[in-house]
Homo-oligomer: A and B are copies of this chain.
Amino acid sequence: MARHSLASIVALLGGRVAGDAQVEVTQVGTLERAGPLQIAFLSNPRYTSRLATTRAGAVVLGPGYEGLSKSPCIVCDNPYAYFARVSQLFNPPLPPVPGIHPGAHIAPGARISVTAQIGPAAVVGAEATIGERCILGAGCCIGERTSVGDDSRLYPGVIVYPDCCIGARAIVHSGVVIGADGFGIAMEAGRWLKVPQIGRVVIGDDVEIGANTTIDRGAIEDTLIGDGVKLDNQIQIGHNVQVGAHTAMAGCVAIAGSAHIGSHCTLSAGALILGHLSIADHVEVSAATVVTRSLRKAGTYTGLFPIDDHAAWSKNAVLLRHLSELAERMRELEQRLSAMEKTNG
């Protein structure tokens, strides 16, 4: 287990120590539960009171808070990002164990780096390319001609259809399906005809994709996921969607076909973007909000029925269905009142 003094941490990651710089820690922890060998962090001022009671060996915090901590501190401008780096220091990803498990199924013509690790029951199709130091977990399936960039890590059970591209340093969690057919159907005489989906999925570098997320291949051109995009679990990305660099989406977001999402956007849990819309850079969409029109300006957008106790909701919901009548009655009242004011005047 790695062991670092606060002095050695700031030498590596910057910031400054307030208190005993020789204190050593071996792991990260939370303010509530960390012990003397753990380093915690304070990022949200709401939890400031925990500084008084924490047993953490050290705390990462922003300027101005150091006086409130009995433990030695590392003071820095962005405590949560700093904490991420400290945690990466103590918890580096396991390196690949190069080699192809004898229970894997590699098609002739697949190009697999000798530094890559291929798990049992994994399948790599003809002419697929697996980069340096990649890890393909058990049961992963990589289609023909698909490429996976260097240092990418696919957890067990990831399926990538043929002809897709995944960039370098990807982290793809179990159950993810990349490159399945988009939902392209045309109605003819009461029956649906399938529109062949001949585009690809092209994913940039440094992308993480959460468990059971699905990203469909393009209908004609490609579905594009930019560099540094972070997708949580159970997200659905339709065909021909484009997602700009460094956009993050929380769990259960869905993006319908041909929507273009800008870069540096954040979509909260359960948000839904309808098809063919454009979302500008730096847009934030609140949880469970349905985007029904293009959003051309950065900003935060919300559409969400407020929760209430059931009885209160029920009363309001009924009235909502009669809102236009309420508005009509209001117009009438205004007219009657004006008439009377005129008379009285």
Contact = CB atoms under 8 A, between A and B. Distances in A.
A320 B323 contact: yes
Most B CB within 10 A of own CB, among A185, A246, A315? A185
B334 A232 contact: no
A317 to B, nearest CB: 5
Interface in A221-254: 221, 228, 230, 232-234, 236, 238, 246, 248, 250-252, 254
Q: What copy number does this chain have within its complex?
A: 3
B326 A321 contact: no
Contacts of A157: 139, 141, 157, 159, 177
Closest 3 CB pairs of A and B: A303-B307, A81-B188, A105-B120
A320 B306 contact: yes
Given A303-B306, A319-B323, 11 more contacts: A88-B193, A121-B121, A123-B156, A181-B210, A191-B228, A192-B230, A290-B304, A292-B306, A316-B324, A326-B327, A336-B337
Contacts of A161: 155, 174
15 contacts: A81-B193, A84-B184, A85-B193, A123-B138, A159-B174, A175-B175, A183-B250, A185-B208, A272-B287, A292-B307, A301-B308, A312-B324, A316-B323, A329-B330, A336-B341
Given A83-B186, A254-B269, A330-B330, A310 B302 contact: yes
Contact of A270 (B30, B177, B290): B290
A299 interface: yes
Contacts of A333: 330, 333-334, 337
A2 to B, nearest CB: 12
Nearest to A40: B220
A180 interface: yes
A198 B87 contact: yes
A22 interface: no
A251 B246 contact: no
B183 A230 contact: yes
A206 B302 CA distance: 39
Contacts of A105: 101, 103, 120-121, 138
A28 interface: yes
Contacts of A302: 307-310, 313-314
Interface stretch (A108-116, A127-135, A211-219): A211-219
